[in-house]
Structure 1
Amino acid sequence: MALSVFINTYIFCNHLGQLLYNLALKQKAVQSSTSGTVGIAGKAVDGNRDTNYQRCCTHTSEDLDPWWRVDLLAVYKVSAVTIINRQDAVIERILGAQILIGNSLEQNGNQNPSCGMIKSLDGTPTYTFQCNEMEGRYIIVIIPGTKRYMTLCEVEVFASLSVLLLKPLNES
Structure 2
Amino acid sequence: MIWLMFGLLWTLAGSDEIYKNVALRGRGTQSTNFESLSSATNAIDGNLDPDYSHGSCFSSKSQLSPWWRVDLLETYKISHIMVTNRGDCCADYINGAEILVGDSLANNGNNNPRCAQVTTIPLGGTQTYNCFDMKGQYVNIILPGKTGYLTFCEVQIYGAPVAKEESCACPQKCSNDNQ
Flag whether TM exceeds 0.5 (same fold): yes
Instruction: Output one character per residue of 1:146-169: Cα deviation in whole Å (capped at 9) or x when no partner.
Output: 111111200111024xxx4x7465
User: Tell me, what secondary structure is at the counterpart of 1:24?
Assistant: helix
Partner Cα separation in structure 2 for residue 36 and residue 116 of structure 1: 28
Which region of structure 1 is more displaced relative to structure 2, 117-126 or 20-29? 117-126
Max radius of gyration: which structure?
2
Instruction: Output one character per residue of 1:74-99: Cα deviation in whole Å (capped at 9) or x when no partner.
Output: 11111001111001111110101110
Partner Cα separation in structure 1 for residue 120 and residue 40 of structure 2: 24
Query: Structure 2 regions of 5+ residues with no counterpart?
Result: 1-5, 169-177
TM-score, scaled relative to structure 2: 0.80
Deviating 4+ runs (over 2 angstroms): 13-20, 120-124, 166-172
Query: Structure 1 regions of 5+ residues with no counterpart?
Result: 1-12
Equivalence for 1:63: 63
User: Tell me, what secondary structure is at the counterpart of 2:53?
Assistant: helix
Q: CA deviation at 1:121?
A: 3.9
C-alpha contact 2:23 2:156 (8 A) present in aligned 1: yes
CA RMSD, Structure 1 to Structure 2 (Å): 2.1
Partner Cα separation in structure 2 for residue 110 and residue 86 of structure 1: 23
C-alpha contact 2:57 2:154 (8 A) present in aligned 1: yes
The percentage of aligned residue pairs carrying the same residue is: 37
More helix by share: 2
Equivalent residue runs for 1:117-136 within 5 Å: 117-121=117-121, 125-136=125-136
Amino acid paired to 2:78: V
Equivalence for 2:76: 76
